[in-house]
Amino acid sequence: MSRLRFLLLVLICVAATPRAAAAADRIALKVERHATGAPVTLGVPFPRGVLASPDHVRVLASDGREVPSQVTEVTTWQPVDPSVKWVWVFFFAADGADYQLEYGADVRRARVPAGLDGQLLVLNSQRPGGQADIVAGPLQLTVRQGSTGFVHEASLDLEGDGFEADDVIAVGPEARGSFVDLLDEAGVDASRATITQTFLERGSGPLHAILRIEGTYRYGRSDNHAAPFVTRLHAYAGQTWIRVQHTIVYTGVPDRHRPTAGEYPHVATQAQALTKGDPSDPGWTQPEDRIQAMGMSLALKLKPGAVARTALLDGPWWQRAAAPRVVRQTGALAVTQLGPQAVNGVVAESSPTARQETFAAHVRAGGQVRDRAPRALGWVDVSDDTRGVAIGVRHFLEEYPKSIAFDAATSRLDAFFWAADGGPASFAREHTRPGAEGSVENWAQGLAKTSEAIVYFHPSRTTDAEIGRVMGYVLQPAVAHVDPVWYARSGVYGEFAPAGRGPAELDRALDHKVRWMLFNQRWAPWFGVFDYGDVKVRYDNGAWDMWGHNEPAQDFELWVHFMRTGDPAVFDAALALSRHTMDVDNTHWPTGPVYRGDSNQSGDFFLTQTPDAIAAAGGAATRWLGIGRRHSTQHWMHALSAHVWVQGWMAAYYLAGETRALDVARVTADMHRRRMWGEHELTGRRLYLSVWNLAEVWDATKDPVYADELKDRVARMLRLAQADGDGLALERYGYAQVYATHGLARYYSITGNEAVREALVRHARHERDVPALNHWMESYLASIHALSIGYQLSKEPSLKEELARRVALLRTDPLPAPVTAEAWTQASLAEALTRTDHIPDAPSWYRREFSATARARTPNWHPLHGLRFFGWTTGHGLPWALAALGD
């Protein structure tokens, strides 16, 4: 690097680096996929001591005028400092994509009128039989306890003379406003929804309110368990559209295997009555309770002869056409998106040289297919001569099978998150071959799925373009970010390097791997309701094998890459992976009865403890709440006590305002607190990972129950390190030192504990002098983060010198064309990427120790593999190493 270029880089970094609190300072803010009027939510971190209050933050347009905004404090730097650490910023996009975030002691945000004076009013009555009412300008919504499972009533006041009976535009069908219908050998068992509770979530304010609706699906047959659901209804000041996030939990019996008593050895909480399952039992592969259909419904109050319209996209399914083609039909209309069918629970992928052509969308009217295309845009609008209602479903292609249907006879508009057209969703096993631990099992019961939709109530004169624009607010949402240098220097994740702030041959080591995984997600493609978001982990002989199930915190690596780049495609992939793994790769049921405490009757709590109440909740809480899944060919084939990572979920919470993420992370933190594996979980990688998980959850919640558990586990880590030559990770788990160093670095940043700082420095010296080689490059390069943190805390030159030596192994040559170039096939890109890599292979004497199968395949750190998503060699270390080397 030339001296001039180096000095310029220093000046840029100094200009963008967070500073001590000033009277007023500004951060560049960019809205990607900008659309005027789009709702924008982004999380912004602040360095310790810089921001005293969220009231000292505001948004400015490019011309310096203030944009009305809502700022929510998310967490602080306590206990080490009372200053603000993260805020959520919400505003409606103005005409341009470029903004400034102004903050400082003298900054005062213009007040947005709230309550009776504002354009968004929420009344939430939680008395028995109560309801929540939302008024957003000309839109009024009612959500009633015990009612439909979604919106009880929606009114649209087009005349501006107040809400009257004839303004009602839609109602929720009785007990069928949302639904999850099951199918077994006795036939379809239709669900009936009951809303039990509503309350406002963090992030609610004068411009944007989040109403959380909790309820239960019940079934007609006694052998089908009641199932919980949560719907988050997002309403916006003065707007007549809402965003909906709907989470269901599958409580069915997934297959017909013969249950046996005992626990599987790898998750056992005791030493007796262990089982590995019977591989000769054919019931493992025979489905029992399948999902026939799931979605939400509105009964429209429109005049007869209403016209329905939808949009199709011509051209290959993997390319977005320049403009959608709108299809109209008077009366009934349904649009359905289908894709590759699963055979024995597994979907065939594209070949290395050609994409499969099995995606198809069709529009039906009058029982006949009226139109076809490879893909549908994902919305249907129904309008009479006065007003209309449009529903759009996000990821209509990626999370197929999907459908939206208007039935003119009943005036029902149904959005199917799982469409019956694709056949019932089966959770049986693909095969009965034992897994890595020699057991056959099925962990599907208790998985969850979150779907996202938009509902737009509008006057009938609304054009196709306007419908498409508003649908895009959720179907193709804006993604906002501040200057990547700000994220990198804020200290909330330590100090890492933004993209382009280091040698290109090392920057490429990160970018190539991320782009390869994103390329395959859309080439294979890794789509489907219960698959989308996850990535596979081993590419050998032109084929992928096994879902990654987030090992090790793959989504967190993507969130870090988004902060480094501001790339909306990386944001999309990170959010999809976080949502998938917190839902599908976890156990959510039964929880046992949950008492929130907003009742006037003291006896209500005790009623939740009765046998009837416990039975109604699905039984006592399962001990497996919060544990994750081991990588396998199906998401529910194998669980493991050390395979759950909350870091990406919490990044989704901070950066995207994903409120569900904290809920699920707390369940995992509570799992650690139960200590159900005894001393087994208080040593080795389970201990290191639990410290990282608990540090994240404590930092977000400040709940002392997590602080107490974390303090004890950190003390154990330090004692074990002293007994193990100052190494924080056992030799068996050398690759898992990234858990130890990230977890303890996180703990140190929020406590300032000097013993932890010293332990991190001693571990860095240990790795410098006795490098971990038990997993060869996986464990050897896992030390990159340890050396980076050790140097940043001690400034010992020898640590930096060793760091530079190891990082040099990650240098990556350029590709002849960007990964995003249309000319690439999977085969040609795989070949080109292999030539760019310089990580050494394992020596023959090391490989001889493995089985014939393991010796025959390429190693886990091969550039084409996603096993552990390059986390132990690159993703969890290199961003921090580049910052340390640039010091």
Q: Are 121 and 115 in contact (CB under 8 A)?
A: yes
Task: Using alpha carbons, select from 126, 125, 120, 115 the residue that is nearest to residue 139.
Answer: 120
Q: Given a cut of 90, is residue 11 above it in pLDDT?
A: no
pLDDT digits (tens, 9 = 90+) for 294-336: 999 999 999 999 999 999 999 999 987 778 999 999 999 999 9
Partners of 76 in beta bridges: 84
Contact 234, 210 (CB under 8 A): yes
CA distance 108 to 672: 42
C-alpha 102/C-alpha 91 separation (Å) is: 14
Report the alpha-carbon distance of residue 196 to residue 385 in Å, rounded.
37
> pLDDT exceeding 70 applies to what percent of the chain?
96
Residue from 811, 267, 880 nearest 564 by CA: 880
> Does the pLDDT value for residue 20 go beyond 70?
no
Mean pLDDT, the chain, whole residue set = 93
Q: Taking residues 127-136, what's their average pLDDT? A: 91
Q: Is 269 exposed, middle or buried (0-12, 13-18, 19+ CB in 10 A)?
A: middle
Structure confidence at residue 841 (pLDDT): 86
CA distance 728 to 525: 39
Helix (H) or strand (E) holding 473: helix 464-475
What distances in angstroms separate CA 782 from CA 145, 719, 875, one per listed residue? 52, 22, 9
Q: Sort residue 206 into left (φ over 0), alpha (ψ -120 to 50) or beta.
A: alpha
396 closest CA partner among 338, 478, 343: 338
Q: Is the dihedral of CA 309, 310, 315, 321 positive or negative?
A: positive
Spatial CA neighbour of 287 closest among 250, 338, 336, 339: 250
pLDDT score at 545: 87
HEC string for 603-640: HHHHHCCCHHHHHHCCCCCCCCCCCEECCECCCCCCEE
Query: In whole angstroms, what is the distance from residue 281 CA to residue 219 CA?
Result: 29
Weakest-pLDDT range from 157-171, 484-498, 614-628: 614-628
880 HSE (CA, 13 A, CB side): 30
Pairing of strands 307-313, 360-365: unpaired
Contact 839, 777 (CB under 8 A): yes
Contacts of 321 (CB under 8 A, 6+ apart): 313, 314, 315
Distance CA 690, CA 710 (A): 8
Rounded CA gap, 870 and 833, in Å? 14
- Contact present, 677 and 726 (Cβ < 8 Å): no
Q: In this structure, what is the dihedral angle of CA atoms 46, 52, 58, 59, given to the nearest 10 degrees?
A: -10
- Mind listing the pLDDT tens digit for each residue in 71-112? 999 999 999 999 999 999 999 999 999 999 999 999 999 999
User: How does pLDDT run across 341-382, given as a tens digit for each residue?
Assistant: 988 788 999 999 999 999 999 999 988 999 999 999 999 999
Q: Where are the beta strands (DSSP E) in 460-574?
A: 479-482, 536-540, 543-547
At residue 27, does pLDDT exceed 70? Answer: yes
Cβ count near 377 (within 10 Å): 26
CA distance to 30, 37, 87, 577, per residue, from 44 (Å): 12, 21, 5, 21
Helix axes 684-701, 647-656, angle to 10 degrees: 20
**Where do the H-state alpha helices sit in 724-753?**
737-751
In whole angstroms, give the CA distance from residue 745 to residue 883: 15
Contact 136, 238 (CB under 8 A): yes
pLDDT score of 851: 64
**Side-chain-facing half-sphere of 460: CA atoms under 13 Å:** 12
661-687 residue pLDDT tens = 999 999 999 999 999 999 989 999 999
How many other C-beta atoms can be found within 10 angstroms of the C-beta atom of residue 617?
20
Q: Which amino acid is at 688?
A: Y
Of 217, 226, 129, the C-alpha closest to 176 is 217
Amino acid at 819: V
Shortest CA distance to 457 belongs to which of 391, 410, 407?
Answer: 391
As a whole number, mean pLDDT of residues 1-26 equals 50
